[in-house]
Each structure stands twice: as C-alpha cells, then as structure tokens.
C-alpha cells in the first residue's frame, strides 16, 4: 500500500514535467560557491529524548500538493561495478527486495542501484526492513561532513589509506557535482558515502519536509550518475535535534533512508574553531565513558578550512585504537548514537 502511495506521487510529479522541476531546482553553483553553513553541536541526551518522542507510529506520504519531486533521469546512469568472482567487492549493493541487506562486517559500505523514486515506479520495496544493528563491540565511525573538496579531502584520504582505516563521507550535492573524481576516489578506496543534502542551507532545508526530501532525492541522482549506485544513509545538516519535526522522520522512513547524528564531536565547525590539540582532547574526553552499543560516531569535516582537523586525524586514530576501538563505516545497520 505504501509503495502504491509513493508510486502515485512519483507519477504526479512526472506529469508536471521539466518546467515544474526547473522552478524548484537549486540554482547552478559556480566556482565562487561560498562555504556551507557551520554545524551546530548536538546534545546527545536531549537529542535521544527528542527523536524518541518525535518518531511517528505510522509513516505518511508528503502531500501531492507539495512541490514536485524529481523523477528518475531518462539518461542511462553509470553502470554499477559487477562483482569479480575472484575478489569480493569492498562494498555491498542491495538487491531489489533488500534480502541481502544483512552483513556482519561493520566496515562494508552499503549502496543501492535504484533511487527511491525508481523503486516506487518499479513496484519494489522502498522502505528498509527492520534489521538488527551490528553486534560488534567498540566500533568507531569516523565521519566527515560537507565535502568533498580538493584541498583537505585528499589529505584526509591519504591519512586514512596510510592508517588502513575506513570512514564515512557525508557529501553535499553541489560539491559532488563539482568534484566527481573525488567522489570516485572515496568510493574506490572503500569508504562509505552518505547524503548530506544538496546545498546545506538551513533556511531552505528546514522550511518544509518536502524541501529537505527534494534535496536528498536530487543529491541521490547526482551520486548515482557518478557511481552507478546511491547511498541509503543521510545526515541532516546541523543534526536533527531542534531541526526535525515528526514529519521529517515520517518522510525519511517512508522513502527508505536511515539518518545518523553523532555522539563524539571535535567541534571543528563551531565558532571555537579548536586547534588540533584541542580536537584530540575533545575526542579523548568524550570516549572516556562507554558509548551506546559501544559505537563512537565521530563528527568531523573535510572542507578547505579544516586544516587543524587534518593535523588531528592521525592522533585521533591512534587514540581510539589505544582505547580498543576498531573502525567501521555508517550503514543502515550502524547503531544509533543515542
């Protein structure tokens, strides 16, 4: 029934045509694109209470009277890589019915070759089935938001490669458009890619759930066009606490997305702008006590003004290893941070 409702919405959006879509498409970004807005730090305890009370009991669909949603491009997307029988892929592509979604390795990224709108049009499941989180203990999830760029993202990737550590990059749509080769590098080096909306603009994203959804769907189309697959994970700019209402959680559930905030933060995008030593201190202090499900989800950023984050990263990795953490990437199976 849910799939049918989504299908009707998608058909309605498609009938409106390219003219209607052009009215809601974000403006074309140029080389002078300003920096994205600063993240706000999440209060984990308050956020847990907020999310549990906000989570609806039954998902409902966005109203057909809301702005049209993007429909799948008619141009053939990049074909996702096929699995080499002699060497397993470093990531998992879910099948049509999500029957292979379960994996026992927290370091394996998970992607989908279909967009949410394509799933609806094909009559395939859109919502992700309920799955148990990983049972692994003391897993650290290094996450980098707002990229990719050509200054600090490559440096971070070099460090991760040298250290043999996987990470998760929550990317912004317009930056992915401008830096497709960097998206490919993140993907090919075994890291997870998550959806961080198209323009990261709080005023538009949190003006209405449908605007947030449109940006997620549009960014998925961009990523699928580059990689042949799209992510199932998203992160709300600024975190969900104080930003999301019931309708946002309803919408993400109905369209098959999993949102993760964080429970460890370097504060590298706050007004404090801490140096590398201070960032290391924050991570050390916030991992002194046990985290929920032993999952430390660490918020960092990878844009051009995050030089101190690059400096701090090797010691953050060393510190977490010394505390007994292994490293994973965020997937729909990753425990929530609160």
- DSSP 8-class letter at 87: B
Q: What contacts 89, CB < 8 A, 6 or more positions away?
A: 81, 83
Q: Is 30 a catalytic residue?
A: no
Alpha helices in the chain (DSSP H): 2-24, 44-54, 116-122, 152-163, 173-178, 180-188, 202-205, 209-227, 246-254, 276-286, 307-322
220, 294, 301, 305: which one is catalytic? 301
Q: Strand 168-171 relative to strand 326-327: parallel, antiparallel, unpaired?
A: unpaired
CA–CA dist 330, 295 (Å, integer): 10
**Residue 36: C-alpha distances to residues 52, 173, 190, 196 (Å):** 29, 12, 26, 11
Catalytic residue among 145, 149, 199, 253: 145
The dihedral built from the CA positions of residue 145, 147, 148 and 150, taken in this order, carries a sign that is negative
Among 274, 312, 241, smallest CA distance to 53 is for: 241
**Which residue is it, tokens 């669909």?**
61
Tokens (6 digits) for 245: 């209402």
**Does residue 301 have an active-site annotation?**
yes
Catalytic residues: 145, 301
């Amino acid at each position: 029934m849910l799939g049918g409702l989504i299908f009707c919405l998608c058909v309605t959006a498609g009938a409106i045509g390219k003219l209607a879509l052009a009215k809601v498409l974000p403006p074309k970004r140029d080389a002078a694109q300003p920096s994205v807005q600063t993240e706000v730090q999440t209060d984990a305890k308050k956020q847990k209470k907020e999310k549990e009370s906000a989570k609806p009991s039954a998902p409902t669909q966005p109203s057909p009277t809301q702005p049209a949603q993007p429909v799948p491009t008619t141009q053939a997307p990049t074909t996702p890589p096929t699995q080499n029988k002699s060497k397993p892929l470093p990531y998992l592509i879910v099948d049509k019915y999500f029957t292979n979604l379960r994996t026992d390795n927290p370091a394996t990224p998970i992607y989908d070759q279909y967009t949410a709108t394509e799933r609806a049009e094909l009559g395939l499941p859109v919502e992700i089935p309920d799955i148990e989180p990983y049972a692994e203990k003391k897993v650290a999830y290094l996450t980098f938001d707002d990229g990719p760029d050509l200054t600090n993202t490559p440096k971070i990737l070099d460090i991760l490669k040298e250290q043999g550590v996987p990470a998760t990059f929550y990317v912004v749509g317009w930056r992915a458009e401008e830096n497709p080769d960097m998206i490919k590098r993140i993907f090919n080096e075994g890291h997870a890619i998550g959806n961080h909306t198209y323009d990261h603009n709080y005023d538009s994203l949190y003006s209405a759930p449908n605007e947030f959804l449109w940006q997620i769907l549009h960014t998925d189309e961009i990523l699928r066009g580059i990689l042949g697959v799209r992510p199932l994970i998203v992160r709300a700019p600024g975190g969900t606490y104080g930003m999301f209402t019931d309708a946002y959680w309803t919408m993400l559930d109905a369209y098959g997305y999993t949102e993760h905030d964080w429970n460890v933060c370097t504060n590298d995008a706050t007004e404090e702008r801490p140096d590398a030593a201070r960032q290391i201190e924050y991570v050390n202090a916030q991992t002194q006590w046990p985290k929920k499900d032993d999952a430390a989800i660490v918020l960092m950023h990878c844009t051009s003004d995050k030089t101190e984050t690059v400096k701090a990263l090797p010691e953050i990795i060393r510190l977490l290893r010394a505390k007994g953490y292994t490293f994973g990437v965020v997937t729909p199976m990753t425990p929530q941070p609160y």
